[in-house]
Amino acid sequence: MAKMPIRNKSKDNPYILGFNENKNVYSVEFVDNKKVMHNIEISVEVYKAFDEFELEDISQIHKYRSHIEHSEIYEESLNARSVHKPISVEEEVESKIIFEELKLAINQLSTIQKRRIKMYYFEDMTLEEIAKIEGTTHQAISKSINKGIEEIKKIMKI
């Protein structure tokens, strides 16, 4: 008897479909609750119904596996892969407090230091660009910014 190809089936469908080419007979093989193997001849219609059930099982198994895979990607893996990781409420509040303290500290600097630090850190300008605008050397700008940072550290008690 020629057995049909082994398919991925649900554990709830523990049968095997077969076809005897010599007798031109379809069959279904299964184990009953007493662990006894049975092989029963079935009609073409019943065989087709079992075959459709198996194909539906395969389809459902694939959908389930696909769903599980997507769930993992979207819930666990996506957070691990994200560029901008989500931050907790505590981290957000702490960040805002530090930012406010930094703004207050910067505002206590001299006008020149404040302007140079804002251009360098917040406007992403180079020391040379700032020096050209202010008509001085990049060393003077660098010293001014470094002194401003030291003042900010003192003010924020870092």
pLDDT in tens, 109-145: 999 999 999 999 889 999 999 999 999 999 999 999 9
**pLDDT at residue number 62:** 76
Can you give the pLDDT at residue 50?
83
pLDDT, residue 113, reads: 94
Strand order in the sheet with 37-42: 2-3, 15-20, 25-31, 37-42
Q: What is the pLDDT of residue 48?
A: 87
- By three-state DSSP, how is residue 29 classified? strand
The string of pLDDT tens digits covering residues 39-86 is 889 888 988 888 888 888 878 877 777 766 555 556 666 666 666 677
Under 8 Å CB-to-CB from 6, ≥6 apart: which residues?
16
CA distance 92 to 156: 19
